[in-house]
Every structure is written in structure tokens, then in C-alpha cells.
Amino acid sequence: MCETAPKLEFPCSYPIKILGENNPDLRKQIISVMTKHSSTFDDQFTKIRQSKRGRWQSITVIIQATGESQIKGIYDDLRANPLVRMVL
């Protein structure tokens, strides 16, 4: 069975989930990356959840993606952040 990922049609709404340390700077840094790569980013749709013990948080953002290079740039910048543990 050969499965290939479906091609995205741009522009489209694109959710990104970031898992990182529970640090007040994490949200600010994520918003900075999003506004750098997406001029239409709206923080209003950002969702934040804390882990049960409070050590980690997951932040989900939705961007209006314009192309694969934009998404790759966002992922690269987020992965370079020392507070970020995983980007989905």
C-alpha cells in the first residue's frame, strides 16, 4: 500500500501545534514567529493548554498559509527555539 500525503491548496487555514515549557515567554516568542511569517496572523485564535502538573503547555495557532516555503520557515524558526520541545 503506497500512501502519499495530500497536496495542500494554497491559500488555506493551517493549524500548528507547539509543545513547550510552561514559560510566559514561549507564547510571546511563538507570536513573534507567526507575525514574521504571516502578515494576517490573528492571535485571537490562539489556544493554550497547560499540562496537569504545569510543567508543559501546548499552544495551537492557525495561520492563513500561502505556500510550503512559508510553513517550512515557521517550522524551522519554532524548532530553533530552546523553549519548544515539539512542533506538529
- Residue 88: CB atoms within 10 A of its CB come to 10
Predicted confidence band of residue 8 (pLDDT cuts 50, 70, 90): confident
Q: What is the pTM of this model?
A: 0.89
Over the range 13-30, which residues count as b (16 or more CB within 10 Å of their CB) and which as e? ebebebbbeeeeebbebb
Quick one: pLDDT at residue 2?
60
Tell me: the pLDDT tens digits for 21-79?
A: 999 999 999 999 999 999 999 999 899 999 999 999 999 999 999 999 999 999 999 99
C-beta of residue 32 within 8 angstroms of C-beta of residue 1: no
